Amino acid sequence: MFTAFKVQGACALLLSAGLGFVLHAVAAPPANKGLVSESSIPGQCLGNNHAQGSPKRLSVGVVPQLPATETLKRWSPFLENIGKSTDVCFVLSVSTSIPEFESEFLQGRHDLAFMNPYHQVMAFKAQGYEAMLADTRLLTGILVVAKDSPLKSLSDLQGTTLSFPAPNAFAASLLIRSILADQGVSFKASYVKTHTNVYRSVALGSAKAGGGVNNTLLREPESLRATLRVLYETPGFRAHPFSAHPRVSSELRTAITKHILQMTSKPEQQNLLNQVQMPNPAQASHSKDYAPLQRLGIEQFVINENKN
């Protein structure tokens, strides 16, 4: 089904450097200067403190592609900026795993949520979440291997151990597992919770290859990226949406959307957008951008870890 989309050659964004930097990157990734907010504490109001207890107090969930501390560092300043301009108090919730995040949005616990494309399909069906914004850069799933790995094609992965962040990570897991099944490649899946852990498991040799996405690999330290090579890249799809539960008023949705779009014209706020994977945001909709994903036929690979 997806064979024609096989990527030829290594990904252009990978850099050349020695393996000696990997352990440093694993033990202590470089700090992202300028991202730490005094409000980078789970449950604390980001934006207008006076809006607490009012309809302008909104809970925000973010799919945990990264370690919790990194998610807080990246999202807190972004929400603080929006909240002060829109008179909203955002309360950021950091889930411990992707399955936990899925359970939360399926129950409608978040007013706003940044989720993967297939999560949007699930969230719309369960609660009616509507996509507001997404980056214009297409999201692609990638399989990475060590830079010096002898693996050259998907067939070379037969019988190997592959790392994935979680069963239902869209491009990093669902899509890639469906492609491998389509090509008759059997493997052992190891779910390691985050994209960060996937890349490090491959760099350190505990997995022959691992599933991620272009947007998260691009934001890893250069020292780590230099030790990896993209073996395969999927077709592109509309990126992760920032979505709203139906209980959020249309006025608030419009105000938040308008502010985020205006941030693109302010150079000093561009880094805030980049850190939350929306450097070039544009309006999105479920019906146009995400409903078509149901035609991919990947439902059989969805694993519901939240059933009793």
Q: Per residue, what are the HEC states of 110-161?
A: CCEEECCHHHHHHHHHHHCCEEEEEECCCECEEEEEECCCCCCCHHHHCCCE
> What is the helix (H) or strand (E) element at residue 283, kind and residue range?
strand 281-283
State phi, psi for 148 to the nearest 5 degrees: -95, 15
Q: What is the b/e burial string over 220-252, where b = at least 16 CB atoms within 10 angstroms of the residue's CB?
A: bbebbbbbbbbbbbbeebbbbbbbbbeebeeeb
Q: What is the pLDDT of residue 14?
A: 30
Task: Give the model's pLDDT for residue 43.
Answer: 74
Instruction: State yes or no: pLDDT of 302 exceeds 80.
Output: yes
Average pLDDT of 142-160?
97
Q: What is the pLDDT of residue 49?
A: 84
Q: What is the pLDDT of residues 31-90, one digit of tens each?
A: 333 333 344 566 789 998 877 777 799 999 999 999 999 999 999 999 999 999 999 999
State the average pLDDT over residues 278-290: 98
